[in-house]
Each structure stands twice: as C-alpha cells, then as structure tokens.
Structure 1
C-alpha cells in the first residue's frame, strides 16, 4: 500500500506546475519600446497620438500618465491601450444604431 501523504504531495506538485504554466500563458506581456526609451515626454506623446501638446494637456485627466518631479511621463503601450478604448466605444455606438 502506498503512502497517502506521498501521493498527496506528488499531486500538489503537479497542480503547482500546472498553475505556474497557466499563469505564464495568461499573464499579459506589454510590448517593449524598440527605441530603448521607456517613457515619452508630453511632446513625444502628443506626436505619437497625432494631437497637439495643448490638446494632450487639456485631456490629461483621461490619458494614462505618470507625474514625477513635476513632469509628465507616458508609456507607449498605455497610450496605445487608451486609443484602442476609443475605437471600442465607436464600434459599440455604430453597432447600437442598427
């Protein structure tokens, strides 16, 4: 007769391995900037988004940003996600008119 504690220990190890593998697959990975620069300035963020810097500042409460030492910093991946949210809202409005 096998030791039930050893069997439980083995099964827990299998479950742990399965959960770790599943976590790796489900954890989203953010795209890394190809230019090696992690953060954008307000001017660069506005250019990236195709808007004027003044427009960026006027809508700063809605745009994801980091404020450190009195300066605003932006992550490209956050800006892309923010702009994609706008597309989803537009598509939902179009879909609701049918």
Structure 2
C-alpha cells in the first residue's frame, strides 16, 4: 500500500467516524427534545437535567429515586425548579 493510499484510508476513517458521531448526536437531540406539558413548565430531558446540575448522566440515573421527575411516554422529564430545590436541599 502506498503512502497516498494509507493517507486516504486514514482521512476516510476520520471522516466516517465524525459523520457517525454527528448522526448519533442528531438522533439524541431529536429524541431528547423536551415536551411542553399543559401546565406551561418547560421540562428537561435526563441529559439536559444532568448537564443543568453539572453531573454525569450515569450519576443522575444512580440517584433517580431522590431526584424529582415525572415519566411521560417512557421518558424521564425534569423541571429546573425541581432540580434547583433538590440541589439546595443537599
């Protein structure tokens, strides 16, 4: 294999990996779009809630019994007010 062929393969793999990453992130953002419930409060997805609190998503799931949330259509939803209250209680 020539140097040019090797270089081409490295670039092709890098582009392919980047595209796969962007597709994954796009899918995540589509499925993690918060719902607008009838009470007018904006709900956060689990990922957004973890980011809002500055913790890893895994840590949120490990403590889910203590973190105020609702489950709608199989998704966990969180309010900013609920998360702030939870953090202030600790």
Task: Give the shorter-chain TM-score range.
Answer: 0.5 to 0.7
Segments ≥4 residues shifted beyond 6 Å: none
Give the alignment of 1:1-98 within 5 angstroms: 38-86=42-90
Q: Cα offset for 1:51?
A: 0.3
Q: Cα offset for 1:42?
A: 0.3
Greater C-alpha Rg: 1
Cα root mean square deviation, aligned = 1.5
Q: Aligned pair count?
A: 51
TM-score scaled by length of structure 2: 0.54
SS in 2 for 1:61: coil
Unpaired runs of at least 5, structure 1: 1-35, 87-98
Unpaired runs of at least 5, structure 2: 1-39
TM-score scaled by length of structure 1: 0.50
Question: Higher strand proportion, which one?
Answer: 2
Please give the alpha-carbon distance, in whole angstroms, between the structure 2 residues aligned to 1:70 and 1:51: 22
Cα shift readout 1:36-89 (whole Å, capped 9, x = no counterpart): 970100000000001000100010000000011110000000000000001xxx
Please give the alpha-carbon distance, in whole angstroms, between the structure 2 residues aligned to 1:65 and 1:85: 16
